[in-house]
Amino acid sequence: MEDLEFHVKTLNHELIDKDESSQIKEAARKPTLEHIRSVVGDYGHEIVHKRELEELERLSHDPDAEHVLVSEDISVIR
């Protein structure tokens, strides 16, 4: 889960602030999604499921997709 960089469609997504982003980046270095969920949950966000992460990764490499960078390491959706 290191060096993750995802893009998501702007609709129905929320950008995260710098402090949240730094907490999420730290969580992304941990080995499990459960740990990431616990950190992200502190901010009232919901981490995306593995299948969604895979789709986001695919979109991040699709030059035709309309998307916006949410976080350098991991994306969250409300």
* Domain membership flag for residue 63: yes
* Domain membership flag for residue 32: yes
The pLDDT score that the predictor gives to residue 11 is: 34
Q: How many domains does the chain have?
A: 1
* Domain membership flag for residue 68: yes
Task: For residue 20, give the amino acid letter.
Answer: E
Q: How far is CA 28 from CA 57, 65, 66, in A?
A: 15, 24, 25
Q: What is the pLDDT of residues 33-77, one digit of tens each?
A: 665 556 555 554 555 556 666 666 666 666 665 544 445 555 554
* Domain membership flag for residue 54: yes
- Nearest CA to 45 out of 3, 77, 2, 10 is that of 77
Domain containing 11: what range? 6-77
* Domain membership flag for residue 25: yes
pTM: 0.26
Residues in a beta bridge with 16: none
* Domain membership flag for residue 1: no
